[in-house]
Amino acid sequence: AQTVTQSQPEMSVQEAETVTLSCTYDTSESDYYLFWYKQPPSRQMILVIRQEAYKQQNATENRFSVNFQKAAKSFSLKISDSQLGDAAMYFCAYRGDKIIFGKGTRLHILP
Amino acid sequence: DTGVSQNPRHKITKRGQNVTFRCDPISEHNRLYWYRQTLGQGPEFLTYFQNEAQLEKSRLLSDRFSAERPKGSFSTLEIQRTEQGDSAMYLCASSPGTGGKSPLHFGNGTRLTVT
């Protein structure tokens, strides 16, 4: 069975600084997808970024980028120029037939 | 495209009562998923449908839980004889096609409180 591990329950970053959230996963499959979701206090899950496992190039979406290390089964999220609106729970997710989520990292932005 | 809609937003019930939640996915999305989320935790998979067929059920889904998607459009999740441990946010999500790279689109959830 696939598992997703986020080892940082909480993190804080100064506004305008860069922060990296860690994620590791376990799977025996070779073709899969990985996602980062954001859940603000309003609680609706919002897709931040996605990565296809067969692509070596790391995905980028504006201030958000990933460091995908397939052999190490690592999928970290980097947020550049952190903004107050980035404060939320961030979930790493593995996509097979269903999506398996990690336990999340609560990100605080310090003004 | 009005997004995934869940009703009700909040439900308070007494232990032992039955409750039913409804989810309307994004139109033409074939897949519909139910997740449960407790405070400070990630969503836990409960079950999912491909059109009207229920393809997988988590062992978290005890025999008190039942989900249906009779016409391949909206879905209902029923919990019978509710227990305090059922208190959680129940999230519904949908995606197009048969899985693969499509991300899930989530609704706002139904928060259940069992007293």
Contact B91 A101 (CB under 8 A): no
Q: What string of H, E and C letters represents the secondary structure of A9-41?
A: CEEEEECCCCEEECCEEECCCCCCEEEEEEECC
Q: Which two structure tokens, joined as six digits, stand for A85?
A: 């609106």
B112-A101-B58 Cα angle (round to 5): 65
DSSP class of residue B34 equals E
Average pLDDT for runs of 10 along chain B of length 115: 90 98 94 92 93 90 93 94 96 82 89 97
Show the 3-state SS of chain A.
Answer: CCEEECCCCEEEEECCCCEEECCEEECCCCCCEEEEEEECCCCCCEEEEEEECCCCCCCEECCEEEEEECCCCEEEEEECCCCHHHCEEEEEEEECCCEEECCCEEEEEEC
pLDDT attached to residue B2 = 76
Nearest by CB to A98, from B33, B40, B103: name it. Answer: B33
Euclidean distance between CA atoms A108 and A17, whole angstroms:
12
Q: Does A56 touch chain B (CB under 8 A)?
A: no
- Beta partners for A10? A106
Chain A to chain B Cβ contacts (< 8 Å): 56
Cβ of A50 under 8 Å from any chain B Cβ? yes
- CB-CB contact of B82 with B16 (8 Å): yes
Distance (Å) from the alpha carbon of A32 to chain B's nearest alpha carbon: 7
Q: By the CB < 8 Å criterion, does A36 face chain B?
A: no
Min Cα distance A80 → chain B (Å) is: 23
Q: What is the pLDDT of residues A11-69, one digit of tens each?
A: 999 999 999 999 999 998 888 899 999 999 867 899 999 999 888 899 999 999 999 99
Does residue A100 contact residue A4 with C-beta atoms inside 8 Å?
A: yes
Residue B38: predicted pLDDT: 93
The minimal CB distance from A97 to the residues B41, B56, B93 is found for B56
The Cα B108–Cα A76 span in angstroms is 26
The answer to whether the CB atoms of B56 and A91 lie below 8 A apart is no
Chain A residue numbers touching B41 (CB-CB < 8 A) = 103-104
